[in-house]
A and B are shown apart, each in its own frame.
Chain A
Amino acid sequence: MLPILANGAFRNGLIVFAFLGYLILIGIPGRLGGSALPILALVAALFFWVRLRRDLSDIEGSFLRTGGATGKPGWRIGEPGHTSPQEAGTPLPGREGTLAIRKGLLAGITTGLLIAVVSFAFASAIGSGTSIQPVLDKVVPVNVAALIGVSPGQISNDEVPPLRYLLQVLFFTAAGLIAALAAVAARVHGLQTTAVARLSTYLDSQLFRKAARFAGILLPFLLLAFIAWLGIPGVTAFGSNEGTVRLLLTLIATGSGLFALRLAHPGREQKTVALLLALGVLTLPFILDQFQNSVMGLVFIFVMMGLGLNIVVGYAGLLDLGYVAFFAIGAYTYAFLSAPFSSPYISDLLTFLGISPANPLLGYWTALPVAMLTAAIGGILLGIPVLRLRGDYLAIVTLGFGEIIRLFMLNLGELTNGPRGILEISQPGLFGLAPQSFSSGLLSSQGWIFLVALVSSAVVAFVAIRLNDSRLGRAWFAMQEDEDVAEATGVHLVRTKLLAFAIGATFAGMAGQLYASRQINIFPENFSLFVSIDALALIIVGGIGSPAGIVLGALALKGLPEVLRGVDEYRIVAFAALLVIMMIVRPAGILPSARRRIQVSSTEDQISTPGEEDLDEEELDEVTGRRAQAASANREAARGQEGP
Chain B
Amino acid sequence: MLILDSVHTYYGHIHALKGISLTVNQGEIVTLIGSNGAGKTTTLNTISGVLPARAGAIYLQENARSQGPAPPGRDYGSDIRLDRLHAHQVARLGVSQSPEGRKIFARLSVQENLAMGAFARADADGIRQDLERVFQLFPRLQERLSQPGGTLSGGEQQMLAIGRALMSRPRILLLDEPSMGLAPILVQQIFQIIREINDQGMTILLVEQNAQAALHIANRGYVLETGNIVLSGNAQELLANPQVAEAYLGI
Query: Which A residues lie at the B interface, using CB under 8 A?
Result: 471, 474-475, 477-478, 481-482, 484-493, 595-596, 598-599, 602, 626-627, 630, 634, 637, 640-641
Contact = CB atoms under 8 A, between A and B. Distances in A.
Contacts of A487: 49-50, 86-88, 91
A488 B91 contact: yes
Given A484-B50, A634-B145, A475 B86 contact: no
Nearest to A627: B146
A493 B115 contact: no
Given A471-B119, A474-B115, A490-B168, A481 B128 contact: no
Nearest to A484: B50
19 contacts: A471-B119, A475-B116, A475-B119, A478-B105, A478-B119, A481-B105, A482-B103, A484-B99, A485-B99, A487-B91, A488-B50, A489-B116, A490-B120, A493-B88, A626-B146, A627-B146, A630-B111, A630-B146, A634-B145
B108 interface: yes
Q: Could you say which of B97, B119, B132, B168 has the most chain A C-beta atoms within 10 Å of its C-beta?
A: B119
Contact of B107 (A485, A486, A595): A595
A589 to B, nearest CB: 15
B108 A478 contact: yes
A315 B99 CA distance: 23
Contact of A490 (B88, B103, B107, B128): B88
A595 B146 CA distance: 12
A491 B118 CA distance: 10
Given A474-B116, A482-B105, A595 B148 contact: yes
Q: Could you say which of A477, A481, A599 has the most chain B C-beta atoms within 10 Å of its C-beta?
A: A481
B150 interface: yes
B116 A478 contact: yes
A485 B176 CA distance: 13
B119 A474 contact: yes
B97 A640 contact: no
Given A475-B119, A598-B150, A630-B145, A490 B108 contact: no
Q: Could you say which of A474, A596, A641 has the most chain B C-beta atoms within 10 Å of its C-beta?
A: A474
A641 B142 CA distance: 16
Interface string B118-161: 01100000001001100000000010011010110000000000
B197 to A, nearest CB: 18
B178 to A, nearest CB: 15
Nearest to A492: B88
Contacts of B105: 477-478, 481-482, 485-486
Given A481-B107, A598-B107, 16 more contacts: A471-B115, A474-B115, A477-B105, A482-B105, A484-B99, A487-B88, A487-B91, A488-B48, A488-B90, A488-B97, A490-B91, A490-B92, A595-B107, A627-B146, A630-B146, A640-B128
Interface string B37-55: 0000000000011100000
A485 B119 CA distance: 12
Contact of B119 (A489, A493, A637, A641): A489
B146 A486 contact: no
B117 interface: yes
B65 to A, nearest CB: 18
Nearest to A480: B107
Nearest to B148: A598
A481 B132 contact: no
Nearest to A641: B132
B182 to A, nearest CB: 19
Contacts of B148: 595, 598
Contacts of A596: 107
Interface string B50-85: 100000000000000000000000000000000000
A272 to B, nearest CB: 26
A486 B116 contact: yes
At the interface, is chain A mostly helix, strand, loop or mixed? helix
Contacts of A492: 88
A626 B111 CA distance: 12
Contacts of B50: 484, 487-488
Contacts of B249: none
B80 to A, nearest CB: 15
A489 B99 contact: no
Contacts of B168: 489-490
Contacts of A640: 128
Given A488-B48, A490-B120, A491-B119, A595 B103 contact: no
Contact of B142 (A478, A481, A488, A634): A634
A256 B22 CA distance: 64
Contact of B91 (A475, A489, A626): A489
A477 B164 contact: no
5 closest A-B pairs by CB: A490-B120, A490-B91, A487-B87, A595-B107, A630-B146
Given A478-B116, A598-B150, A641-B128, A485 B142 contact: no
B150 A602 contact: yes
B101 to A, nearest CB: 10
A577 B112 CA distance: 39
B183 interface: no
Nearest to A599: B107
A83 B145 CA distance: 42
Nearest to B50: A484
Q: Could you say which of A484, A489, A595, A634 has the most chain B C-beta atoms within 10 Å of its C-beta?
A: A489
Nearest to B48: A488
A477 B149 CA distance: 13
B231 interface: no
Given A471-B119, A634-B142, A634-B145, A488 B87 contact: yes
Contacts of B150: 598-599, 602
A420 B146 CA distance: 56
A585 B81 CA distance: 55
Contacts of B245: none
A489 B108 contact: no
A367 B48 CA distance: 46
Given A474-B116, A490-B119, A481 B108 contact: yes
Contacts of A478: 105, 108, 116, 119
A598 B88 contact: no
A599 B99 CA distance: 21
Contacts of A486: 105, 116
Contacts of A630: 111, 145-146
Contacts of A595: 107-108, 148
Given A471-B119, A474-B116, A484 B87 contact: yes
B247 interface: no
A113 to B, nearest CB: 48
B106 interface: yes
A477 B107 contact: yes
A598 B91 contact: no
B120 A598 contact: no
Given A488-B91, A488-B97, A598 B106 contact: yes
A634 B114 CA distance: 14
A544 to B, nearest CB: 12
Contacts of B142: 634
A293 to B, nearest CB: 39
A260 to B, nearest CB: 25
B1 to A, nearest CB: 19
A94 B41 CA distance: 54
Contacts of A488: 48-50, 87-88, 90-91, 97, 99
B103 A489 contact: no
B88 A485 contact: no
A325 B108 CA distance: 31
A492 B164 CA distance: 17
A598 B112 CA distance: 15
Q: Could you say which of B86, B105, B128 has the most chain A C-beta atoms within 10 Å of its C-beta?
A: B105
B106 A489 contact: no
B116 A598 contact: no
Given A474-B112, A478-B116, A491 B88 contact: yes
Contact of B103 (A485, A493, A627): A485
Nearest to B106: A481
